[in-house]
Structure 1
């Protein structure tokens, strides 16, 4: 490992993470990527944030360079616990937490499990309201060689088609981007681990759980997100008592790649301002008054 990348065994899994230490800042951001992704997805956001803050970007197992053990529990609750334990190992008591897509759901689990750890949360096109994996698929995951089906299913669409689905402007896709997202899947062990993730995936946090989260949250959404549509962002904004939703025009699901400068600007503004807390139930169900369109 070099001076900014590390590996540590946390909660029984080998965790890869980048740690960019700022010489004077006391504020620390922790970045959690989405499903089938890695720290690579923050390659444009991290350099901007580290100019002003400490930044830790984590490869959630089994993705990226983190371990792909076949005896690890890949539930959202356990992944959240793993991040919490990593912070304890690093002796970090207070963070700002950024979660993209699936990483947003894990971030919400962290806020639920250890609310005092997270000062503010930033949810980038966060997943939400998904039900528990259905029983037939869970049972199929126990069939020998099911991991080969997972591999075949993911390979069928191809890396470029997958990327075209998550960005608004496909012209931004280049060879570097394609290889960066492909590289972790060159190791066949990930497909065995993904089989366990399918088996362990519980449902997303319920509306009742969300309403109990008091952490101030900034929700940033791409208007043209085809993976987690804006309607999910609006629902989360209703259910999270202290939240604000920003909508980025001409943007898809991959907001850290598509609009890193704008995302950073909104994050800095959110972190620096005093966030006016709202009580549960004060938001109108028919109108989301704090949804702000951004060009």
Structure 2
């Protein structure tokens, strides 16, 4: 069940279930995204953990009250929320924009981050962007619409998955209805903020997960993050686009659970 947390100057929607080591789940910036729409079906595979699933500021139940770059503002809100919820330290799992928020938290609050799992994270752009990949073009075009459009949402959802059978009418309806409730009033493209200069400060052991056919944050953008974070590894899943946790759910659940429960150290001993 969704709860609301009162924080400094804002409120945050979240779901908090289970007991054990904490995992904080951070969703992407697509229209209609919420924490539970992104990750709800994955949570049964993470029994034995305390799963805190949030709606990031400006999405779902969480309002946004600042013009600060999205990544930096959201990371501050999540850090405050963790304190309010008694979460001293957590593994962070984030896709796309949520992955960028996770990286920012690992930069400014390294003592609060266990493992990082990042699915095609944003926040680090190559020198030749824009032009934007087709998935980002559709995301920004949707944000710029005067009002939400179901047909535009259908086009967006179909770009997120390689297997078109997964772009169901029910999923399109769910995302469209959620987007209608929180249609963004943001600059187009939004000011997400740039994490490139700070990647070397991330000390958490990091797993990058990428769909080989991703058309939103393409695989060609991965090397900057892979080589920028000192302790990062990359897994590429074929026949998969941007929603790895949805399109390859069984593989995602297995790989991530193994990663966050692995007690071995890496070659550098971190």
TM-score range, shorter chain: 0.7 to 0.9
Q: In the alignment, does 2:180 pair up with 1:191?
A: no
Tell me the CA shift for residue 48 of structure 1: 1.8
Matched, 1:263 2:252: yes
Deviation at 1:198, TM superposition (A): 5.2
| Whole-angstrom distance in 2 between the partners of 1:176 and 1:156 | 12
Aligned with 2:118: secondary structure? strand
Q: 1:122 aligned to 2:117?
A: yes
Is 1:41 the equivalent of 2:54?
Answer: no
CA distance in 2: counterparts of 1:94 and 1:171, whole angstroms:
38
**Is structure 2 residue 80 aligned with structure 1 residue 97?**
no
Q: Does 2:11 match 1:18? A: no
The alignment partner of 2:251 has SS state of helix
Maintained 8 Å contact 1:61/1:74: no
Distance 2:122 2:171 in 1: 23
Does 1:58 find its partner at 2:54?
yes
Q: Distance in 1 between matches of 2:176 and 2:99?
A: 22
**Separation of aligned partners in 2, 1:228 and 1:115:** 25
- Quote the Cα distance in structure 2 between the aligned partners of 1:11 and 1:76: 17
How many positions carry a matched residue from both structures? 252
Distance of 2:245 and 2:143 partners within structure 1:
30
- TM-score in terms of structure 2 length: 0.85
CA contact (8 A) 2:69 2:193 kept: no
Matched position secondary structure for 1:250: coil
Q: 1:244 aligns with which of 233, 244, 250?
A: 233
Q: Is the 8 Å Cα contact of residues 148 and 183 (structure 2) preserved in structure 1?
A: no
The answer to whether the 8 A contact 1:68-1:190 is kept is no
2:219: which partner in 1? 230
**Which segments of 5 or more consecutive residues in structure 1 lack a partner in the other structure?**
135-147, 280-295
Distance 1:107 1:165 in 2: 24
Q: Does the CA contact (< 8 Å) of 1:33 and 1:41 recur in 2?
A: yes
1:67 is aligned to 2:58? no
Structure 1 ranges of 4+ moved more than 6 A:
none
SS of aligned partner of 1:44: helix
- 1:6 alignment counterpart: 3
| Pairwise CA RMSD | 2.5
TM-score (norm 1): 0.78
> Rg larger in 1 or in 2?
1
**Which whole-Å deviations, capped at 9, do the CAs of 1:94-147 have from their partners, x for residues lacking one?**
10000100111111000011000001100011124238xx9xxxxxxxxxxxxx
Offset, 1:274: 3.0
